[in-house]
Amino acid sequence: METELKPIEWKNHKLVLLDQTRLPNEMVYEEFETAESIWDAIKVMKVRGAPAIGVTAAYGLYLGIRDATENSFEDFWKELKKVSDFLASSRPTAVNLFWALERMEKTAIANNHLDVSELKNVLLKEAIKIHKEDEITNRKIGENALTLLHDGIGILTHCNAGALATTKYGTATAPMYLAKEKGWNFKVYADETRPRLQGSALTALELQLAGIDVTIITDNMAATVMSQRKVNAVIVGADRIAANGDVANKIGTLGLSILANYYNIPFYVAAPTSTIDMKTKTGKDIPIEERDPEEVINRFGQYTALKNSKVYNPAFDVTPHENVTAIITEKGIIREPYEKNLKDLFEESKIG
């Protein structure tokens, strides 16, 4: 019997998150009612993945102003902006965090004629809308991605751009769920993805629970499985795509893109348009989060290196657009020249 994991749920006026730091061994759901606890959940990665972070932040902003006592819009706005800026400080790279907070702020401004109690309800409805839209968006990404894939394919993916990184389906995994629905016969190779192991702990978990054939490989095995012709396509997610098509994603993605190009294997990035940041010109302008060195040398409470060893632990890297075969979005498949085609996409769809 297949099991679907629900990473985010708005229930009984609280935000319920599946604590992803406890997976795959424990399925623990935690209730959140404050912006502070949600900031911490994003920071320590109880919830992670660009789209999931955005949805969570939207609810976090609502929860942070739900009990505000300000009566005038001017005073209420100051409180809202304070909470929004606080949540924006949780993690720097995934643009969906800022996209969701900005959308909530714009909703407040667009409804500044309402009295504050009504405005609070409008903000909750917007957070729920962002949540519901994500599921629809991801299914569309999956449908578009399927046009590039075929029955019998071998797919390699990195980190977790799965259902656990979104509200359902994932982005890179969306075509996998839809291919399963179609009865396709295909194999997935999941990089374990050091240091946080989102691939082995999360991607392998969710795909196994969905009855999908997934094999965990260590991060240094990608070249081997490619050389053995086991991989026909690489599909990864993204945390931020710059206006020229450069892609920030989990550390290790850049190396995969180089290997894929060496072996003439298509390298696809699956992401919603909310992950494309037209205000960020190139990958050089994307802030890359550096995380605690302990994640690398003390992942499971046992040091695998001398304590206080010098460690460099960027959580993401940037893949140059030249290495990207196509960017698969809910609005279509984008190819080079990315700068022009992304600009056209945003103008035609009147996004942003």
Ligand X SMILES: CSC[C@H]1O[C@H](OP(=O)(O)O)[C@H](O)[C@@H]1O
142 binds ligand X (CB under 6 A): no
Stretch of residues binding ligand X (CB under 6 A), selected from 24-32, 141-149, 236-244, 258-266: 236-244
CB nearer ligand X, residue 120 or residue 194: 194
- The count of chain residues that interact with ligand X, using the rule CB under 6 A, is 17
Residue nearest to ligand X (CB): 237
Q: Is 250 in the site for ligand X (CB under 6 A)?
A: yes
- Subset of 92-111 contacting ligand X (CB under 6 A): none
> Which of 50, 58, 97, 234 touches ligand X (CB under 6 A)?
50
126 vs 134 by CB, closer to ligand X:
134
Could you tell me which residues are annotated as the binding site for substrate? Answer: 48-50, 91, 198, 249-250
Pick from 18, 83, 100, 161 the residue near ligand X by CB under 6 A: 161
Residue of 315, 326, 342, 345 interacting with ligand X (CB under 6 A)? 315
Under rule CB under 6 A, residue 64 binds ligand X: no
Residue in this structure with the two tokens 């992670």, named with its chain if needed: 48
Give the active site residue among 239, 246, 277, 317.
Answer: 239
Residue range at the interface with ligand X (CB under 6 A); choices 2-10, 61-69, 82-90, 234-242:
234-242
51 in contact with ligand X (CB under 6 A): yes
- Residue 201 interacts with ligand X (CB under 6 A): yes or no: no
239 is catalytic: yes
Least separation in angstroms between residue 53's CB and ligand X is: 7
In the bound state with ligand X, the residue whose beta carbon lies nearer, of 21 and 208, is 21
Q: Which residues are marked as active site?
A: 239
Which residues lie near ligand X (CB under 6 A)?
Answer: 48-51, 159, 161, 165-166, 171, 198, 236-239, 249-250, 315
